[in-house]
Chain A
Amino acid sequence: MQDDDPKNPTRESSGVSRRDFLKISGISAAAVPVLGTKVVQAAGTPVKVYGPGKTPVELTVNGKTHSLQVEPRVTLLDALRDGLDLTGAKRVCDRGECGACTVLLDGKAVYACSILAIEAQGKTIMTVESLMEGDKLHPVQQAFVDNDGSQCGFCTPGFVVATKAFLDRHPNPTSEDIRRGLNGNYCRCGTYHGIQGVLAQMKGA
């Protein structure tokens, strides 16, 4: 598994996956009904316990820090969309299969539907909304326009972010790199041919 494969992005970077968390919160359920966070031992590791109920969460998104009140089970994606009205990242499969919710977490492409908002605290979150500079599209975005890499456009923001993160790591990708590195985003309209054009245009740029 390549470390920039967005299908499996969170283990290294955030320590606790969504499913691990659910397991842990099950373990700790009896010790939970106090406000604020506390720390319990889970499998020999100290783990912060949040909730139940709404808990204060601080997220640093696109250079700004936001304070929110969300339940611990709320995903980063839902916090961004419903809490901060940043709706560029889309909710499609809601379980780490399609890539439409891709955002950057400390510079790495991740599925925002598969990370809890509480886990994303203290990290740098960048969404598609951060890529433009003023009125000017980011070169990757411009390449999507030029190569018609978008039809209905619902997968596009996720694809743009994934492509940007991929190119940051592979400025001169081979076609095999592209096949592996951008296979974690699905498009129903079938814009992959245009996106191959994006990569060709960006190669070495």
Chain B
Amino acid sequence: MPEYNWPDAEHRTLIGKRISRVDSPFKVSGRAKYTYDYHSPEMLFGRVVRSPYAKARILSIDTAAAEKVPGVKAVEVIQKVGSVVQWAGDEVVALAAVDETTAEDAARLITVKYQPMAHEVSDAEPPSGAAEAAGPMSEDDIWDAIGNQMPDAQFIQYLQEHGVSFHPTEDLLKEMKGEGASDAALDVIRKASYHEGKGGGRSPYQKAAATTLGDPDKALTEADVVSEGLYGAPVITHCCMEAHGSVVEWPDKDHLFVHISTQNVSGIPSQMAEPLQVPAANVHVHQDNIGGGFGSKFSADRWDIVNARLSRNAGGRAVRIMLERDAELEVAGARPSAYARVKVAAKKDGTITGWQSQSWGTGGPGGGGMPPIPYIFNIPNQRKEHTAIRNNIGPARAWRAPNHPQAAVITMCAIDDLAAKLNLDSLDLWLKNLDITGPRRETYREELGIGAELMGWKDKWRPRGQNISGNTARGLGLSIHTWGGRGHSSDCDLSIHPDGSVNVKMGTQDLGTGTRTTIAIVAAETLGLPVEAINLYIGDTQYPPSGASGGSTTPGGVSSSTRRAAVDAREALFSKVAPALNASSEELECVDGMVRVKGDPNRSLSWKQACAKLGAVPVNAHGHNDAVPSKNKPDLTNSGVGGLTMADVEVDMETGVVKVKKMVAVQDCGLIIDLKMAESACFGAMTMGISYALYEEKLMDPVTGRMLNPNMQFYRLAGLSDIPEMVVHMMTGKGYDERGVIGLGEPPVISPGAAISNAVANAIGVRVPFLPLTPDKVLAALEQKAGA
């Protein structure tokens, strides 16, 4: 059986070293091509007409004037007259024209008349006393649910629990099917029990979860200390630098060629096939580079499907639709909000005994679920209730470490407030309670020690509000986090050619996370070659399928499939070379660009000489990593990491401005392929953390229902001037390396928000309940403290 296991430390020449990315030279020189950069001859420019209302029924659509504009080649109505749009910026009509200015002008000639309806866009108030969705669904409720793309499972469960308040006819059901209702849902509507009632389903508030563990009442009553507070994080957007979009063309009437900005190259064909009635095998997807995704680019979006229709109507000519920046921020990605009122119970010595939370938040039309609170700490007695708010802010998408940053803010800030109430150093309280943090507790213990040292925690830490000089307050905060990160399903083809060149092909994508470099390092390490010797082909459906890049699943997936393919190809090469070296293939190894007999460097061939023994035909090997761990023998990837962030902040008490002065990240991710890239992932995540902790919020106007800041001036990202001294420590060596490769995309972005919020509370002596920690919120908290 070939040796697939990762080489041990003394036999690694590339894995775990600091290696520059293989694609950086293309990116720094502008040669790297993105979907937005793709031009095809005769390409048309698409333009989308969007709803200015957060909720409205479409009364009429007139495209006649636009169709007459010279240069307009196709017009496509996306939402028919009578449909109800559910968020501002929702797509209504699209057109394609010979150039962008013509498309812009023609789009302005399209007249859509709307009947505005009452909308709901707020989420920051606790839904106390508000009517909750509990009644039977009216016909309008069901139309809403279909229009909202309410997840089927949720839709069906609601119908089964609450029934309907009308008698559906088969004609109506047919119409609903036409609008996208699934057969399963229609079947449930058909069989749903009838109740008199006035559409309780119309309330935006819906009880999403209620769980009790142990005896929370007893824990709260018998506690020495109960700390109570309000915590939360608002809806933020992904704000990818490269907008969502695609260039789609039909080379002939049965084949589709799609350039698309996606985290999911291999998964796009089946998503486009069904709505366009073309076999998935006839959909060719290509993407060289993607300008950011962060969880928002897994799907072929509605505009991509429309794009294909426009192209078909225009005789197959390529059509480009890349979202304008305002649309990108309004409709192409939002992280659900989460807020909670929390009580934490503890003994005098800091042992946490109880948790009670009433949480709420919105993920747009779908509502959304409860974040995993209390986060990491398995507090023995808990009572949790969560209310989902369904509203018209646009749909939510996975945002780097879905639900974890919100859970960290709610949990780690509540626990930090408890530490303050107990007059304990937060670090000591964390250490005290590590026993209830589950399987990674010893990792956390080690990391907290290292982090404290790197931060100078013990020297710098002061009790809350006791490090103020003049108008300047300093403070420290910390948070810990976890994530899975097991490798996804991935297939890899690797060929060794008789001239010594090596090809690796895989239908994966590099989000800027270093996927290309990871694959090249693993292949080069296995074959004893330099990284530059690997010719790498990714980003195309002509290559073997590999999973979507989400949830930190890519490094484990692609490194495992590459390792298997490379080991098998190496074995095939050994069997051809062995006779020439008078050895058996088991005795051979690939080292330093040579194939040689183990322990006998004199019996060796250069890589080129060895490959020449292949004759005329290359060897090709296929490697597969299965998403189901038991199907991988041996298993080269793993799941479950621990990490932390510590922050040192300075707050101007007069202006409320927060400046992060220093940040420390300590992180494990199993066997590290490239230390340089791993550290960059942490530096980047801390930067993104500063951004969402201090600046980011999708601000909705309750009157118009529209986003107030759909641009990069008022949807502010952290800039270079916001970057503090940053320190990253990656856990490596015994206890970590042998776990196999684990993804790193999500974990380090989870804690910064909570850590910075805790540092601000430590500095100014009072909690600023919700992120982002903008000056107005800081000053309001200070004012409240002064008045208390």
> Which B residues from 14 to 38 make CB contacts under 8 A with A?
20-21, 23-34, 36-37
> Which A residues from 99 to 134 make CB contacts under 8 A with B?
100, 127-129, 131-132
The chain B residue sitting closest to A193, CB to CB, is B683
Point out the residues of chain B lying under 8 angstroms from A185, CB to CB.
Answer: 719-720
Q: Which of A71, A87, A100, A189 neighbours the largest number of chain B CB atoms within 10 Å of its CB?
A: A189
A90-B36, A93-B711 as given contacts; A128 in contact with B30, CB under 8 Å: yes
> Which A residues from 165 to 205 make CB contacts under 8 A with B?
178-180, 182-183, 185-196
> Which B residues from 295 to 325 make CB contacts under 8 A with A?
322, 324-325
Query: Across the interface, do B684 and A71 meet the contact criterion of CB distance under 8 Å?
Result: no
Query: Across the interface, do B721 and A191 meet the contact criterion of CB distance under 8 Å?
Result: no
Interface segment, A13-21, A28-36, A38-46, A78-86?
A78-86
Query: Across the interface, do B711 and A179 meet the contact criterion of CB distance under 8 Å?
Result: no
Query: Across the interface, do A78 and B100 meet the contact criterion of CB distance under 8 Å?
Result: yes
A92 interface neighbour in B33, B39, B325, B720, Cβ under 8 Å: B325
A156-B28, A157-B28, A192-B687 as given contacts; A148 in contact with B720, CB under 8 Å: no
Measured CA separation A178–B720 after assembly (Å): 8
Q: Which of A91, A95, A131, A132 neighbours the largest number of chain B CB atoms within 10 Å of its CB?
A: A91
A24 at the interface (CB under 8 A from B): no
Point out the residues of chain B lying under 8 angstroms from A88, CB to CB.
Answer: 29-31
Q: Which of A81, A92, A154, A185 neighbours the largest number of chain B CB atoms within 10 Å of its CB?
A: A154
Point out the residues of chain A lying under 8 angstroms from B37, CB to CB.
Answer: 81, 87
Measured CA separation A196–B291 after assembly (Å): 21
Point out the residues of chain A lying under 8 angstroms from B242, CB to CB.
Answer: 90, 92, 152, 154
Query: Across the interface, do B292 and A192 meet the contact criterion of CB distance under 8 Å?
Result: no
A97-B712, A137-B29, A160-B28 as given contacts; A192 in contact with B21, CB under 8 Å: no
Query: Across the interface, do A153 and B720 meet the contact criterion of CB distance under 8 Å?
Result: no
The 0/1 profile, CB within 8 Å of B marked 1, for residues 133-166 of chain A is 0000100010011101111111111001000000
B325 interface neighbour in A95, A137, A179, Cβ under 8 Å: A95
A98 at the interface (CB under 8 A from B): yes
Query: Across the interface, do B712 and A189 meet the contact criterion of CB distance under 8 Å?
Result: no
The chain A residue sitting closest to B687, CB to CB, is A190
B63 at the interface (CB under 8 A from A): no
B680 at the interface (CB under 8 A from A): yes
Point out the residues of chain B lying under 8 angstroms from A93, CB to CB.
Answer: 325, 711-713
Interface residues on chain A, size class: 35 or more
A74 at the interface (CB under 8 A from B): yes
Measured CA separation A152–B719 after assembly (Å): 16
Measured CA separation A157–B37 after assembly (Å): 13
Point out the residues of chain B lying under 8 angstroms from A194, CB to CB.
Answer: 680, 683
Measured CA separation A146–B676 after assembly (Å): 10
Residues of B in contact, count (CB < 8 Å)? 58
Point out the residues of chain A lying under 8 angstroms from B723, CB to CB.
Answer: 192-193, 196
Point out the residues of chain B lying under 8 angstroms from A78, CB to CB.
Answer: 100
Query: Across the interface, do A191 and B29 meet the contact criterion of CB distance under 8 Å?
Result: no
Measured CA separation A192–B717 after assembly (Å): 12
A145 interface neighbour in B21, B686, B713, B722, Cβ under 8 Å: B21
B688 interface neighbour in A82, A92, A182, A190, Cβ under 8 Å: A190
Point out the residues of chain A lying under 8 angstroms from B21, CB to CB.
Answer: 145, 148, 150
Query: A100 to nearest B CB, angstroms?
Result: 6
Query: Across the interface, do B30 and A89 meet the contact criterion of CB distance under 8 Å?
Result: yes
The chain A residue sitting closest to B34, CB to CB, is A154
A94 at the interface (CB under 8 A from B): yes
Point out the residues of chain A lying under 8 angstroms from B99, CB to CB.
Answer: 82
B685 at the interface (CB under 8 A from A): yes
Point out the residues of chain A lying under 8 angstroms from B718, CB to CB.
Answer: 190, 192
A93-B712, A128-B30, A188-B240 as given contacts; A145 in contact with B24, CB under 8 Å: yes
A180-B721, A190-B684 as given contacts; A148 in contact with B325, CB under 8 Å: no
Measured CA separation A192–B718 after assembly (Å): 10
Point out the residues of chain A lying under 8 angstroms from B720, CB to CB.
Answer: 178-179, 182-183, 185, 192, 195-196
Point out the residues of chain A lying under 8 angstroms from B146, CB to CB.
Answer: none
Point out the residues of chain A lying under 8 angstroms from B239, CB to CB.
Answer: 188
B20 interface neighbour in A148, A183, A190, Cβ under 8 Å: A148
Query: B325 to nearest A CB, angstroms?
Result: 5
> Which B residues from 327 to 355 make CB contacts under 8 A with A?
none
Query: Across the interface, do A155 and B241 meet the contact criterion of CB distance under 8 Å?
Result: yes
Task: Give the dominant DSSP class at A's interface.
Answer: loop
Point out the residues of chain B lying under 8 angstroms from A100, CB to CB.
Answer: 241
B526 at the interface (CB under 8 A from A): no
> Which B residues from 243 to 275 make CB contacts under 8 A with A?
243
B512 interface neighbour in A86, A94, A189, Cβ under 8 Å: A189
The chain B residue sitting closest to A141, CB to CB, is B28
Query: Across the interface, do B711 and A95 meet the contact criterion of CB distance under 8 Å?
Result: yes
Query: B113 to nearest A CB, angstroms?
Result: 28
B574 at the interface (CB under 8 A from A): no
Measured CA separation A86–B31 after assembly (Å): 9
Measured CA separation A185–B718 after assembly (Å): 10
Query: Across the interface, do B291 and A129 meet the contact criterion of CB distance under 8 Å?
Result: no
A151 interface neighbour in B31, B684, B711, Cβ under 8 Å: B684
B101 interface neighbour in A73, A190, A196, Cβ under 8 Å: A73
Measured CA separation A132–B24 after assembly (Å): 14
Query: Across the interface, do B20 and A152 meet the contact criterion of CB distance under 8 Å?
Result: no
B205 at the interface (CB under 8 A from A): no
Point out the residues of chain A lying under 8 angstroms from B719, CB to CB.
Answer: 183, 185-186, 192
The chain A residue sitting closest to B238, CB to CB, is A188
Measured CA separation A187–B691 after assembly (Å): 11
B77 at the interface (CB under 8 A from A): no
The chain A residue sitting closest to B680, CB to CB, is A148
Point out the residues of chain B lying under 8 angstroms from A182, CB to CB.
Answer: 720
A97-B713, A151-B680 as given contacts; A137 in contact with B25, CB under 8 Å: yes
The chain A residue sitting closest to B511, CB to CB, is A152
Point out the residues of chain B lying under 8 angstroms from A157, CB to CB.
Answer: 27-30
The 0/1 profile, CB within 8 Å of A marked 1, for residues 200-243 of chain B is 00000000000000000000000000000000000000011111
Point out the residues of chain B lying under 8 angstroms from A148, CB to CB.
Answer: 20-21, 24, 676-677, 679-680
B382 at the interface (CB under 8 A from A): no
Point out the residues of chain A lying under 8 angstroms from B32, CB to CB.
Answer: 153
B164 at the interface (CB under 8 A from A): no
Query: Across the interface, do B291 and A186 meet the contact criterion of CB distance under 8 Å?
Result: no
B726 at the interface (CB under 8 A from A): yes
Query: A7 to nearest B CB, angstroms?
Result: 10
Query: Across the interface, do B241 and A152 meet the contact criterion of CB distance under 8 Å?
Result: yes
Query: A195 to nearest B CB, angstroms?
Result: 7
Query: Across the interface, do B241 and A154 meet the contact criterion of CB distance under 8 Å?
Result: yes
Q: Which of B101, B513, B679 neighbours the largest number of chain A CB atoms within 10 Å of its CB?
A: B101
A93-B325, A188-B294 as given contacts; A153 in contact with B512, CB under 8 Å: yes
Query: B711 to nearest A CB, angstroms?
Result: 6
Query: A50 to nearest B CB, angstroms?
Result: 13
B766 at the interface (CB under 8 A from A): no
B290 at the interface (CB under 8 A from A): yes
Point out the residues of chain B lying under 8 angstroms from A137, CB to CB.
Answer: 25, 28-29
B289 at the interface (CB under 8 A from A): yes
Query: Across the interface, do B683 and A153 meet the contact criterion of CB distance under 8 Å?
Result: no
Point out the residues of chain A lying under 8 angstroms from B722, CB to CB.
Answer: 192
Measured CA separation A73–B100 after assembly (Å): 11
The chain B residue sitting closest to A190, CB to CB, is B687
- Give 8 A-B contacts (CB < 8 Å), ordered by A residue: A82-B99, A92-B325, A131-B29, A145-B20, A153-B291, A160-B28, A185-B720, A190-B688
Residues of B at under 8 Å CB distance from A?
A: 20-21, 23-34, 36-37, 39, 99-101, 239-243, 289-292, 294, 322, 324-325, 511-513, 676-677, 679-680, 683-688, 691, 711-713, 717-723, 726
6 A-B pairs besides A146-B20, A155-B241 with CB distance below 8 A are A82-B39, A127-B30, A151-B684, A152-B292, A185-B720, A192-B723
Residues of A at under 8 Å CB distance from B?
A: 71, 73-74, 78, 81-82, 85-95, 97-98, 100, 127-129, 131-132, 137, 141, 144-146, 148-157, 160, 178-180, 182-183, 185-196
10 closest residue pairs by CB, A with B = A88-B30, A190-B687, A154-B291, A152-B512, A153-B27, A190-B684, A151-B512, A87-B37, A128-B30, A154-B241
